[in-house]
Structure 1
Amino acid sequence: MSGARGRAGDGDGREQPGAALARAGFRLVGHFAAIPADHVPDIAQGRPARALILVGSLSDELFAPFRESPEAADDRPDPLDRYTRRALGGIAGGLGLGIVFPFDGPPYFPFQRWALRTGGFSPSPMGVLAHHTFGPWIGLRAALLSPEPVEGPDAAEEPGPCGTCLEKPCISACPAGALRDAAPPASYDVPRCLAHLRAEPQATCHTGCLARRACPYGHEHAQSRDAAALHMKAFLG
């Protein structure tokens, strides 16, 4: 994907959006042409979005630039969200695109539904989407809103991996018993997970979710223990 027409990637020598995103620790996940059923917001009043470009991150790619950011060192709440807003907001502005974030709200934007529209994702028992390449390790960080169509093939609504995963090792790997595969739907018991973590301060889970690590997809993209500990700290509040 090369960006919106008339913007980066149209042969005018300007930087491809993927390169700017990669330097900040993010990556393009996919895109689709927006239709009313997608509930994609307008870029501004009277300026509709004709395409949505989903931006994600793999923790270790994001962790390095984030660790060097002022947000990581200022001891204020939600440092990763604030870094994401600053870094991606600047990139979107430079490309003439709108932007929304999954932490904007309530009401919150339907990021998981948008990800399913890009193809390759499926709902997992872990409460996150799993991707056929990245497994449960790709985070959804923002959606760029383009006033023009996006070059390249539109989203293919191909299924993600969970529908064909028969063993479901994520469920048995959870020591808290917080996952179940009652179909439909599979579910993740967040209070039970939190209770286990708080009652067992030395539990291995504090260095990363064991259910995610048991997923057979995307092993090469798994979080380092430092990145996992950062996310777990944010989860525990």
Structure 2
Amino acid sequence: MQEPALEKLNEDLAKAGFLLLGSFRPSPEDGVPDRSDGSPARDLLLVGSTGPSLWGRLTSAPEYQDGTPHPMDRYTKRALTHLAAGHGLEALFSFKGPPYFPFQQWALKCGGFSQSPLGVLAHETYGPWTGFRAAFLSAEPLAGLEQSMRTGPCETCLDKPCLTACPVNAITVETGYNVSACKSHLQKSPEFACWSGCLARHACPYGEDHKPHPQNALFHMKSFAGL
């Protein structure tokens, strides 16, 4: 895949509501499986979403309108399987498992990400608002890919407003993210501000231009709370 083909890949991803978040050349310790034909993956391309783009595509897709569970996963699988095949690539999905592929490890290998106190990774441009949707595996090394050796923003963030934004103190430096406290708080009332999206994430000073659509945030919060 030469640079014009890489540009076309980025265009096709954007049309479907996704973007290329980074890439790297796998080593044995990265846990990247072989392609289905048995050939090793020579490059891995991390595909994700951020901001309202994916939500706009999803709500007009049949997977969202048919009323059956997991519309985002089903749309993602259909769209990216077809898109990857059209570019001679093979797709792995973050939601397939257990066992699940180590997408956070792969993102850190791509560069530009850091581990946040929230448990999610934060990106130098997109902040905590990236969703890892798939990894594309290439049978041949790809021209035009650039691996960033930069780390994400959390290591140099001094104020860390995310640690004080949660109304039930579900996030601390000492204990990390208390999932049960967060979920219990949400389940007590549909009127809590948290239903518009995690307030700790909203407090992050990075990636403010890439926050999700409010209905997208509500969609994810309902899924998290089991509603």
Q: Do both proteins adopt the same fold according to a TM-score greater than 0.5, normalized to the shorter chain? A: yes
- Structure 2 residue aligned with 1:44: 36
> Which one of 6, 9, 26 corresponds to residue 5 of structure 2?
9
Structure 2 distance, partners of 1:204, 1:226, is 13
Deviations 1:37-95 (A, max 9, x none): 11111112421110000001014010111110001111111110111000001101111
1:151 aligns with 2:140: no
> Which one of 211, 224, 232 corresponds to residue 213 of structure 2?
224
Indicate the SS of the match to 1:29. strand
- Structure 1 residue aligned with 2:63: 71
- Contact 1:59–1:227 under 8 Å retained in 2: no
Indicate the SS of the match to 2:34. coil
How many residue pairs match? The answer is 226
Structure 1 distance, partners of 2:224, 2:20, is 25
Structure 2 distance, partners of 1:202, 1:9, is 48
- Contact 1:30–1:118 under 8 Å retained in 2: yes
1:171 aligns with 2:163: yes
> Which one of 46, 55, 64 corresponds to residue 54 of structure 1?
46
Structure 1 distance, partners of 2:36, 2:210, is 36
Indicate the SS of the match to 1:57. strand
- Contact 1:137–1:223 under 8 Å retained in 2: yes
- 1:131 Cα offset (Å): 0.4
1:215 aligns with 2:187: no
- 1:228 Cα offset (Å): 0.9
Structure 2 unaligned runs (5+)? Answer: none
> Which one of 83, 94, 108 corresponds to residue 102 of structure 1?
94
Structure 1 distance, partners of 2:61, 2:161, is 36
Structure 1 distance, partners of 2:76, 2:184, is 29
Indicate the SS of the match to 1:173. coil
Indicate the SS of the match to 1:117. helix
Name the amino acid aligned to 2:180. P
- Structure 1 residue aligned with 2:117: 125
Structure 2 distance, partners of 1:55, 1:72, is 21
- 1:169 Cα offset (Å): 0.5
Name the amino acid aligned to 1:46. G
Name the amino acid aligned to 2:213. S
Bigger shift: 38-47 or 54-63? 38-47
Structure 2 distance, partners of 1:46, 1:153, is 23
Name the amino acid aligned to 1:9. A
Indicate the SS of the match to 2:75. helix
Structure 2 distance, partners of 1:134, 1:111, is 17
- Structure 2 residue aligned with 1:88: 80
- Contact 1:116–1:157 under 8 Å retained in 2: no
Structure 2 distance, partners of 1:222, 1:44, is 35
- 1:164 Cα offset (Å): 1.0
Q: % of aligned pairs identical?
A: 50
Name the amino acid aligned to 1:103. F
TM-score by length of 2: 0.95
Structure 1 distance, partners of 2:41, 2:142, is 11
TM-score by length of 1: 0.91
After TM superposition, what 4+ stretches of structure 1 lie above 2 angstroms from structure 2? none
